Amino acid sequence: MEFLRLDQLGKQFGGITACNNISFTAETGQIVGLIGPNGAGKTTVFNLITGVYKPSSGTISFAGQVISGCSPDDIVAKGIARTFQNIRLFRSLSALENVCIAVDRVAEYSLVQALLRLPKVLRSEAQTRRQAMEYLDALGLADKAELKAESLPYGLQRKLEIARALALKPQLLLLDEPAAGMNPEESVELAKLIRTVHDRYNLTTLLIEHHMDVVMQLCDKIVVLNFGQKLAEGAGGEIQTNPEVLKAYLGSGERSKRRARN
């Protein structure tokens, strides 16, 4: 079933066209890769889906509803969560606290009840910690729960961002370069983890990633952007051998083809 649809999406910043006429869909349960060279418009697409930017043209539909124009808060409430290319954790809070904040966004008590420390709130807080621990555990971070986010190695901070996004109980998860800065072994291990989490939480996932091994390992479908436009769309094998993609995304020549295959 079609779960996410981008229809002729466009975004301009003054004279700069970041996205132009981009259309694609993600089916329920798919992992869709969004790739392209630097400045191709990938993060802008994420910012449009999550309501950070309003489209200049076109529409976005999610689970059959038009969501373009909704606020970021509304979009989270509808079931879309994301991670960021530049990690955005609360650096001086612990890993557990970072996830608890996200669990709390969906807490069922008011600020007044929280200030009065009513039994309902205390019960709920214990539950929040339990749930947050579950998400940390899913990302292999349970033993890091009490450590400050800023003290974690870069790769673990990226995993913590994923745990925090999961705590928002999304149906659609957007991952912006989750393997950035990782070596090939780490990125392959992360890809396995993303697949496990995707299956366990019944997600549909949209993935921006420059590590082609991760993209090829994970994605059911790949959408290639170039200069703000959709250049190609298809399964990994088709994309790897598409001459336009090789030329635009990786540059022409044998070396580029090797990189695409890896």
Ligand X SMILES: Nc1ncnc2c1ncn2[C@@H]1O[C@H](COP(=O)(O)OP(=O)(O)OP(=O)(O)O)[C@@H](O)[C@H]1O
Interface ranges with ligand X (CB under 6 A) = 13, 16, 18, 36, 38-44, 85
Residue among 38 and 65 whose Cβ is closer to ligand X:
38
Question: How near is the Cβ of 231 to ligand X at its closest, in Å?
Answer: 12
Residue among 41 and 236 whose Cβ is closer to ligand X:
41
Report how far residue 73's alpha carbon sits from residue 51's, in angstroms, rounded to the nearest whole number: 8
Residue among 18 and 194 whose Cβ is closer to ligand X:
18
Residue among 44 and 94 whose Cβ is closer to ligand X:
44
Question: How near is the Cβ of 156 to ligand X at its closest, in Å?
Answer: 22
Query: Crossing angle of helices 95-105/119-138, nearest 10°?
Result: 120
Question: How near is the Cβ of 141 to ligand X at its closest, in Å?
Answer: 26
Q: Specify which residues 7 forms β-bridges with.
A: 59
Question: How near is the Cβ of 244 to ligand X at its closest, in Å?
Answer: 17
Question: How near is the Cβ of 42 to ligand X at its closest, in Å?
Answer: 4
Residue among 139 and 207 whose Cβ is closer to ligand X:
207
CB 166 within 8 Å of CB 173: yes
Report how far residue 199's alpha carbon sits from residue 206's, in angstroms, rounded to the nearest whole number: 14
Beta-carbon-side half-sphere exposure of residue 21 (alpha carbons within 13 Å): 4
CB 191 within 8 Å of CB 213: yes
Residue among 3 and 53 whose Cβ is closer to ligand X:
53
CB 35 within 8 Å of CB 20: no
Question: How near is the Cβ of 84 to ligand X at its closest, in Å?
Answer: 11
